[in-house]
A and B are shown apart, each in its own frame.
Chain A
Amino acid sequence: MAALNNKYGWAWFHRFASPPYLYRVAGLLVPWFAWPAAALIAVGLYGGLWSSPPDYQQGDGFRIIYIHVPSAYLSMMGYAILAVASAVGLVWRMKLAHAVAAAAAPLGASFTFLALVTGALWGKPMWGTFWVWDARLTSELILLFLYFGFIALRRAYEDPRSGDRAAAVLALVGVVNLPIIHYSVVWWNSLHQGATVFVGQGSDIAPGMLWPLLCMIFGFTLLFAACLARSVQAEVLERERGAAWAAEVA
């Protein structure tokens, strides 16, 4: 088996099934994610809040996109990670993949929440109301509840292994449904009112606004990765709390 694994180059992957190894690798990765994240976010915030000019229509209000866009993108990325980890856990019965999924869920939910809050705060001066039934906002809200469902289902099981697998099934059903939900909401919305708000924005963003946004997107991604690695560590420790190595490192 080992030879077979080496032949196809999968040994590196199988090593992640070992809790101490995953714990160590995740711990090593944290600073490599966290410091560039801090640097990129600092540069991005400087660029976004000071050096880039106010928008000619939205004034300074547009600056919230430097938080909003990365959060919104990571809310979906988080669900993708959740779904892939769940699939790996279900198909290859890799228990630690469930630990990654369990760590990704609250993170993804937090970024979804952040995207919703920043969207609402932006909406107040721009649309005159905190909430409009915009297709993106609505599908983001439903995404938040998909996260909540995943977390609630996992916690509801007394046996954590069953909870992991049940939540993984739910995550996979959710990921198939997610594009359907998104497009249904888009079509539902277009029935009521045209996509007037977002037309023409984003695609022709000025370069002075673009580079801080890109900095923020990469910075947030690395921040997400750092948080994910750290919570994977916590999750692994919690699962292995009876093991000798866990008592040593903790």
Chain B
Amino acid sequence: MSRALSALLVRDLKLAYRRRGEVLTPAMFFILVTILFPLGLSPQPELLRSIAPGVLWTAALLAGLIGQESLLKGDFEDGSLEQLALAPLPLELTALARVATHWLTTGLPLVILAPLLGLMLDYPVQAMGTLVLSLLLGTSILSLLGAVGAALTVGLRQSGMLLPILVLPLAVPVLIFGAQAAAQAAHGEDPAGALYLLAALLALGLTLIPFAIAAAVRVSLES
């Protein structure tokens, strides 16, 4: 089982490496959305400092959504998703592996970019660790939630428009706790509470969401 899983992981990472441009799209989107806020509001450092946690988190949420559509599309279109569903490996585990590679290729770049964008928004350097940690936890949950949305819409033509409507309401708690942790750290408060809540959400998501993804994949395959 672990050999099959690692083969799956390697395959997905290889596929992602071969389509580097696609992988970089969410990261570029993340940068562009973040740049829009100072341009649209005003470049005053005090204002930027106060909105930085929320802006970074909202931009990361939207950027994560950009990549979600492709999460299962390729596998669905070439039929390998069907084979994976038929394989003796539990579909829940396969789904989890798929989410893991997707997070590595789209979520992780956002986490790495965030401190850089944080500096541009005058986010305090000493709070950067909390920002990164909150995004590390949060983007993983978003990848899981997005996978449910992607699995539900993979067979549909207008999946790109439907996906945000399905996923964004569900992602509200992640945004709230993530931005809260980042903001508390920026104010010099203890962000542990919000971070623990994010971690709890991740634990809950890791245990429950794979089942929802698998159920959704099966519905999509039957249609």
Contact surface of A with B, Cβ cutoff 8 Å: 90, 142, 145-146, 148-149, 152-153, 156-159, 162-163, 165-166, 169-170, 172-174, 176-177, 180-181, 184-185, 187-188, 191
A173: chain B residues within 8 A (beta carbon): 148, 170, 209, 212
Tell me if B173 and A180 are in contact (CB < 8 A): yes
Tell me if A162 and B219 are in contact (CB < 8 A): yes
How far does the Cβ of A110 sit from chain B's closest Cβ, in whole Å? 18
How far does the Cβ of A156 sit from chain B's closest Cβ, in whole Å? 5
Chain A, Cβ-Cβ closest to B174: A184
A145: chain B residues within 8 A (beta carbon): 165, 168-169
Q: Provide a sorted-by-A list of 6 A–B residue pairs whose CB atoms are within 8 angstroms.
A: A142-B169, A153-B152, A156-B156, A158-B223, A169-B216, A181-B172
Tell me if B165 and A149 are in contact (CB < 8 A): yes
Main secondary structure of the interface of A (DSSP, over half): helix
Number of A-B contacts (CB under 8 A): 78
Tell me if B172 and A153 are in contact (CB < 8 A): no
How far does the Cβ of A145 sit from chain B's closest Cβ, in whole Å? 4
From B166, B173, B176, B220, A170 is in contact (CB under 8 Å) with B166
Chain A, Cβ-Cβ closest to B165: A149
User: What's the Cα separation between A38 and B168 when bound, in Å?
Assistant: 38
Chain B, Cβ-Cβ closest to A148: B165
- The reply to whether the CB of B215 lies closer than 8 angstroms to some CB of chain A is yes
- The reply to whether the CB of B206 lies closer than 8 angstroms to some CB of chain A is no
User: What's the Cα separation between A172 and B209 when bound, in Å?
Assistant: 11
From A90, A152, A156, B215 is in contact (CB under 8 Å) with A90
0 or 1 for each of B125-166: is its CB under 8 Å from A? (1 = yes): 000000000000000000000001000110110100010011
- The reply to whether the CB of B208 lies closer than 8 angstroms to some CB of chain A is yes
Tell me if B162 and A156 are in contact (CB < 8 A): yes
How far does the Cβ of A102 sit from chain B's closest Cβ, in whole Å? 15
Q: Which 8 A-B pairs have the closest CB atoms?
A: A162-B223, A184-B173, A188-B176, A145-B169, A165-B219, A149-B166, A184-B176, A166-B219
User: What's the Cα separation between A145 and B167 when bound, in Å?
Assistant: 10
Which of A146, A163, A169 counts the most chain B CB atoms within 10 A?
A: A169
Q: Given A152-B162, A165-B219, A170-B166, are A176 and B180 neighbors across the interface (CB < 8 Å)?
A: no
Count residues of chain B with CB under 8 A from any CB of chain A: 28
How far does the Cβ of A188 sit from chain B's closest Cβ, in whole Å? 4
- The reply to whether the CB of B30 lies closer than 8 angstroms to some CB of chain A is no
User: What's the Cα separation between A191 and B191 when bound, in Å?
Assistant: 13
User: What's the Cα separation between A33 and B158 when bound, in Å?
Assistant: 39
A187: chain B residues within 8 A (beta carbon): 176, 180
- The reply to whether the CB of B222 lies closer than 8 angstroms to some CB of chain A is yes
From A90, A165, A172, A188, B180 is in contact (CB under 8 Å) with A188
Which of B169, B197, B209, B220 counts the most chain A CB atoms within 10 A?
A: B169
User: What's the Cα separation between A159 and B170 when bound, in Å?
Assistant: 25
Tell me if B212 and A169 are in contact (CB < 8 A): yes
Tell me the B97-150 residues at the A interface (CB within 8 Å).
148
Q: Given A153-B162, A159-B223, A188-B176, are A172 and B212 neighbors across the interface (CB < 8 Å)?
A: yes
B168: chain A residues within 8 A (beta carbon): 145
A180: chain B residues within 8 A (beta carbon): 173, 201
Q: Given A156-B153, A156-B156, are A166 and B173 neighbors across the interface (CB < 8 Å)?
A: no
A148: chain B residues within 8 A (beta carbon): 165
How far does the Cβ of A139 sit from chain B's closest Cβ, in whole Å? 9
How far does the Cβ of A44 sit from chain B's closest Cβ, in whole Å? 32
Chain A, Cβ-Cβ closest to B173: A184
B169: chain A residues within 8 A (beta carbon): 142, 145-146, 149, 174, 181
- The reply to whether the CB of B57 lies closer than 8 angstroms to some CB of chain A is no
Tell me if A157 and B223 are in contact (CB < 8 A): yes
0 or 1 for each of B189-219: is its CB under 8 Å from A? (1 = yes): 0000000010001000000110010011001
User: What's the Cα separation between A170 and B169 when bound, in Å?
Assistant: 11
User: What's the Cα separation between A159 and B208 when bound, in Å?
Assistant: 27
